[in-house]
């Protein structure tokens, strides 16, 4: 049942209008002025307020302003004994939903109130639907976030598993991929690259040698110099890694970076002989990080050469074999005290 509040300083009008409304099936109450009406509106909800404009203490126009603060959906019907265009315009501009002139007939009153109640009901239903929509939207967002975190966790597990597979096949380079991935991410951060790119290069670094599982273990661990044929077999790993990763549900940049991590800026690298302008940004970083880490670490065919030799290598061939901006960022990192490490870092893939 709709609740109606009648506000008028004339008692006879209040009583008459309330009687009309009650007989029509509405729950009607009355207030002798705007101050009392406002107090009643704050205590319990009403669907429609029928109010006079000119009243002592506070006018009906000022009451409308208070009503809109309490509830924008309450329908307000203005009554006045001075029906002029200016009065009507002022009432509508102040937020009135409808307008009645005194003396008010029963039929016009009930018709106007019936229409206002219908509008209020539709407004309430719309608000309820919007609230439900927001609730379900939040529930959906929470579900998507949960699924995304779960998928991220699964993908991280796969990345770490692939890293371990390569290290099992090539134990002499244990930790190499993680160190390259962490260094690559640090370089990307120093170059102010987006968070997405930082995560991509870290991920690519963690599995950049995945193609080595197709290379015979005796070649990977051979202590002496490799023969030309063995070297060609080693070179295949970049393309093999690309083929393997391209079949997985990973961003394309990861596979591309893995394929290009042995390219060189002057076109002397492999497997495609790309020049600097054709190498993807992630691979440019991976190339430098891979060289630096390899020179700093022990290999079956030589002892570790150290950071000074590694920085001298990339610095001396900056702009020739290695991208200059990447070399500058990497060199700056170590000058500022960067310590290369192989601990697993959190990775977030753009799914």
Q: 201-239: per-residue pLDDT in tens?
A: 999 999 998 888 888 777 777 777 778 888 888 888 999
Helix (H, G, I), strand (E, B) or coil at 30: strand
CATH of the domain at 245: 1.10.3210.10
- Work out the number of other CB atoms within 10 angstroms of the CB of residue 246: 14
**If we measure between CA atoms, which residue out of 326, 280, 59, 64 comes closest to residue 187?**
326
Minimum mean pLDDT among 102-111, 247-256, 262-271: which range? 247-256
d(CA 328, CA 314): 9
pLDDT at 219: 77
Minimum mean pLDDT among 167-171, 176-180, 196-200, 323-327: which range? 167-171
- Work out the number of other CB atoms within 10 angstroms of the CB of residue 202: 26
Can you give the residue range of the structural domain that contains 321? 170-335
pTM value? 0.59
Minimum mean pLDDT among 3-17, 118-132, 262-276: which range? 118-132
Is 124 in the same domain as 190? no
What's the Cα-to-Cα distance from 143 to each of 121, 294, 316, rounded to whole Å? 33, 43, 52
Is 23 in the same domain as 88? yes
**Sheet containing 75-80, strands listed edge to edge, beginning at the edge strand earlier in sequence:** 27-31, 3-7, 48-52, 75-80, 98-101
More confident residue, 156 or 196: 196
Is 108 in the same domain as 182? no
Is 100 in the same domain as 189? no
Residue 326 counted as domain residue: yes
d(CA 274, CA 252): 18
Domain count, the chain: 2
């Amino acid at each position: 049942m709709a609740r109606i509040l009648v506000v008028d300083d004339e008692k006879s009008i209040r009583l008459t209008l309330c009687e009309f409304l009650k007989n029509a099936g509405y729950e009607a109450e009355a207030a002798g002025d705007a101050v009392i009406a406002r107090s009643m509106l704050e205590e319990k909800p009403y669907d429609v307020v029928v109010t006079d404009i000119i009243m002592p203490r506070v006018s009906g126009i000022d009451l409308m302003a208070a009503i809109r603060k309490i509830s924008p959906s309450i329908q307000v019907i203005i009554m006045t004994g001075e029906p002029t265009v200016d009065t009507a315009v002022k009432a509508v501009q102040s937020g009135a939903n409808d307008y009645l002139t005194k003396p008010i007939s029963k039929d016009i009153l009930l018709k106007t109130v019936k229409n206002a109640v219908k509008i209020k009901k539709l407004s309430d239903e719309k608000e309820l639907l919007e609230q439900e929509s927001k609730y379900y939207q939040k529930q959906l967002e929470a579900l998507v976030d949960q699924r995304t975190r779960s998928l991220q966790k699964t993908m991280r597990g796969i990345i770490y598993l692939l890293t371990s597979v390569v290290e099992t096949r090539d134990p002499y380079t244990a930790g190499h991929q993680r160190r390259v991935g962490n260094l690559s991410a640090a370089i990307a951060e120093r170059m102010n690259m987006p968070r997405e790119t930082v995560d991509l290069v870290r991920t690519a670094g963690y599995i950049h040698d995945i193609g080595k599982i197709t290379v015979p273990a005796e070649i990977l661990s051979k202590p002496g110099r490799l023969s030309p044929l063995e070297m060609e077999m080693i070179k295949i790993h970049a393309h093999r890694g690309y083929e393997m990763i391209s079949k997985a549900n990973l961003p394309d940049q990861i596979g591309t970076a893995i394929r290009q991590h042995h390219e060189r800026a002057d076109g002397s690298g492999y497997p495609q002989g790309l020049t600097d302008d054709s190498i993807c940004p992630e691979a440019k970083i991976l190339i430098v990080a891979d060289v630096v880490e390899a020179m700093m670490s022990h290999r079956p065919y030589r002892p570790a050469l150290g950071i000074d030799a590694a920085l001298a290598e990339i610095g001396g061939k900056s702009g020739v074999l290695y991208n200059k901006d990447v070399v500058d960022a990497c060199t700056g990192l170590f000058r500022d005290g960067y310590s290369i490490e192989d601990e697993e870092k959190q990775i977030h893939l753009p799914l």
